[in-house]
Structure 1
Amino acid sequence: MRPPDRAARGAGTEPAAGEPADGVFGAEELRILLVEDDPGDALLVEDTLIDTGLKHDVTWVRSLADAEPHLAAGPGPDCVILDLHLGDVRGLPVLRRVLEWAPGAAVVVLTGLAEAQAGMAAVAAGAQDYLAKGQLEPDGLGRAIRYAVQRRQVQQAVAALQAQRMRAQENARLEHGLLPRPRVGNPRLRAVTRYLPGRAHSLLGGDFYDVVETADGHVHVVVGDVAGHGPASAALGVSLRVAWRSLVLAGMRGGRLVELLEELLVAEHGGAEMFVTLTTVTLPPGERVARVLRAGHHGFFLHAPGEVALVEPPGGLAVGMVPGLGDWREEEVRLPDGTSLVLFTDGLFEGQIDPEGRRLDLTGLVRIAREHCHHPPEDFVGAVLADVEAASADHGGLADDVAVVHVGWDGP
């Protein structure tokens, strides 16, 4: 809606004295929304805007109800010129409603000559500036709009930087919990661990791993994947990883250990649906076997010099999938001399590799692993990860987080 007998008008002729020219905000017009219920005051603001020299496009509305569609729909205005007295809604509630609908817009408040206190209160509540209607002139209005938009941009940049720092700090805390150092003293054990976050995840996900040696010389390994992404999944992954290590060090083994992890998961999330897939491995010292338990998790690799094989021993349900009905048992897998296990989460093979949406899948991952099977453990893991990332690079990169543990004994 426009003031009576006025057509929509854009940029003025010359910049105001002492002010930068139109190009201060680039070639595009400033989108200005004027919220003013008095047609005479609206006409005054529009006339003054023309004389500021700002390149602009102004839309006038009479009420908050008329303003809402302009504020709530993208991209929204760059600046809102707002009268604080609109019919039945007056004062700071008007401003709060505008900031709720358009948190990214700069706001310049219009006040009466005797309302300086109200203007300052509006700035404290989130507006970028205020002007008295009776003292409107081109220099002041143009300067107020320029600085309001610039201040809002700076505020948003500072907020984004602060959020980025907080995410980095949270990542560091989660990384300490999700990605521990292997607790192993036996020099014969070789363990290589890696973790890569998936694309567009500002926080680590719920993938976790751990490697720990108990007093009897047995080495225990877990790799797990919490359903979902974000802080809740990551926090649950930390809880389960810490609980797993504590239970192992306390002597708990096999299916009973997984049952206790499920009890913890259910207690943490109550009635919320949440499940975890995991694989645990126990390596007895001096034996050519691995005791493997799978809970809803995919298979793993056996890696020997010049050979890689995908192994999928019998397994049970994912932890928490149907609480109380899981039947988890350890299976023995032979480990000839020089053979290691390679455990990983599904992010390693779920990345998209062509425009049709085809994914690498386990078959493609086996092919990549076999191309590097002659490498020693550290180089093997690095080469496989590099090839998987390269295969999905043109289609957004890794779709999910990836945890990898390559573990085995040195010597006969």
Structure 2
Amino acid sequence: MTEVMTVVPEASSEGPVYRILLIEDDPGDALLVEELLHDTGMRFALTTRTTLAEARAELAGSPIDCILLDLHLPDVAGVDAVTAVRGLAPHTAVIVLTGLSEDRAGTEAMAAGAQDYLVKGKVEADLLRRTLRYAVYRSRTERASAQAQATRLRAEENARLERSLLPQPMLDTSTVRVTSRYLPGAAMALLGGDFLDVVEGDDGLLHAVVGDVSGHGPDAAALGVCLRIAWRSLVLGGHRGDDLLHLMERILIAERDGRQLFATCTLLTLDQRSGTVVLHLAGHHEPLLTTAEGTREVSAEHGIALGIVPGECSWPSTVVPLPATGALTVYTDGLIEGHNGTKGERLGVEGLLALIGNLPSADPADHVDLLIKETQTLNAGRHSDDLAVLRLDWGDRPTRSREPREAEDPVKPRTP
């Protein structure tokens, strides 16, 4: 017997319509359940199926609020029936229908996941109404709780991964102010493949990296985290410049596991005392230098991105003199590859510099936030890419009475 009907009793013109699936192979018992539902005064849509196989197709295609389940079906029986139905509809209320002689069947069914049970021949309309409403309410509460738990776990995972991509800068005596921002490009994504980090080494210099792994999604994010952690470990171990990039490339090749991923990055070593910064560019664009005269792009030599031609690359260094007061901004493509208003053109570096020139002077963190907001407004959601921005601000260079150490050569690896 298979039928679908919707009943709206005149005495109950309002309230929810309960979508009920009855799995019962006895036509007489099915008719009794239908009549009892009429007597409850509830609004309901009833679908009847005689086997678990028929019910499986129904549950796959239609939303159901409550399943009324007979424990003796042609293709499954007893607790196995409850387990099978719960597997098909884990967040749907299940009420088991038992016989008069089945004393333990109801409690065993509830232990297997049913919300409640009713004994055939002893069910009245009021009892059915209360049982059905409570079972649906309990099922919806459990579903909401599970969703809240999943959201909480997702938020905790997001926080852990963000800490990996956006770690706290390791600063000791440096007076440089560090501002960093990170935004994944894909909608609803937790993370992307961009990464950044800042560390003050034992040599007293400030070391920073900003990088961008090709592609999006978990593979790019995982590789970005790996490269960021590797960079910090290698810098603290005394590796610098070309040597550091060769080691990072070896790690990238080992960790990308056959996938054709590569990474661009900028390494910088800022010596506040001598007023210089040493740059190494691996397929990455130049940073921006902000002075009292304005903001401009720094000219620097380029090397190829990591992983493009493994083992065959070198990355030249560029030494840039710095003013006594200023800021360096290193960023990934997500800041400039968006559209520049309604004309459909890319923002690009020139558009970014023009935008910065029109922004009001502000606290560095506020300035970075405003810059990102303005680029996103111009883009209007037409292009999405991961975005990482690192800004380093410094004031008057400090003076020290002691002589500089040889290890403070910004491009010379420290001898262990």
Place the TM-score, normalised by the shorter chain, in its bin: 0.7 to 0.9
User: Could you say which residue in structure 2 is the equivalent of 1:46?
Assistant: 34
2:163 is the counterpart of 1:176: yes
- Segments of structure 2 that go 5 or more residues without pairing to the other structure are 398-416
User: Could you say which residue in structure 2 is the equivalent of 1:327?
Assistant: 313
User: Could you say which residue in structure 1 is the equivalent of 2:229?
Assistant: 242
Q: Deviations over 1:56-110 (max 9, x none)?
A: 111112222222232112x511222222322122233333333333333222222
User: Could you say which residue in structure 1 is the equivalent of 2:115?
Assistant: 128
Equivalent residue runs for 1:90-169 within 5 Å? 90-169=77-156
Q: Does the aligned pair in 1 maintain the 2:223–2:256 contact within 8 Å?
A: no
User: Equivalent of 2:179, from 192, 214, 227?
Assistant: 192
CA distance 1:307–1:373, change in 2 (3 Å)? farther
User: Could you say which residue in structure 2 is the equivalent of 1:36?
Assistant: 24
Residue identity matched to 2:49: V
- Comparing 400-409 with 269-278, greater Cα deviation is found at 269-278
Secondary structure of 1:86's counterpart equals coil
Secondary structure of 1:215's counterpart equals coil
Cα distance in structure 2, aligned partners of 1:353 and 1:11: 57
- Comparing 330-339 with 46-55, greater Cα deviation is found at 330-339
Q: Does the aligned pair in 2 maintain the 1:227–1:233 contact within 8 Å?
A: yes
Q: Does the aligned pair in 2 maintain the 1:206–1:234 contact within 8 Å?
A: yes
Cα distance in structure 2, aligned partners of 1:383 and 1:353: 16
Equivalent residue runs for 1:285-324 within 5 Å? 285-287=272-274, 289-310=276-297, 313=300, 315-320=302-307, 324=310
2:46 is the counterpart of 1:58: yes
Q: Does the aligned pair in 2 maintain the 1:308–1:373 contact within 8 Å?
A: no
Note the aligned Cα RMSD (angstroms). 3.4
User: Could you say which residue in structure 2 is the equivalent of 1:216?
Assistant: 203
Cα distance in structure 2, aligned partners of 1:222 and 1:237: 12
CA distance 1:38–1:294, change in 2 (3 Å)? farther
Cα distance in structure 2, aligned partners of 1:144 and 1:355: 59
Cα distance in structure 2, aligned partners of 1:354 and 1:127: 57
Cα distance in structure 2, aligned partners of 1:12 and 1:125: 34
Q: Does the aligned pair in 2 maintain the 1:188–1:411 contact within 8 Å?
A: no
Residue identity matched to 1:36: E
Q: What is the Cα deviation at residue 8 of structure 1?
A: 2.8
2:85 is the counterpart of 1:85: no
User: Could you say which residue in structure 2 is the equivalent of 1:404?
Assistant: 389
Q: Does the aligned pair in 1 maintain the 2:52–2:75 contact within 8 Å?
A: no
2:382 is the counterpart of 1:385: no
Cα distance in structure 2, aligned partners of 1:260 and 1:205: 23
Cα distance in structure 2, aligned partners of 1:330 and 1:289: 16
Q: Does the aligned pair in 1 maintain the 2:59–2:88 contact within 8 Å?
A: yes
Q: What is the Cα deviation at residue 249 of structure 1?
A: 1.3
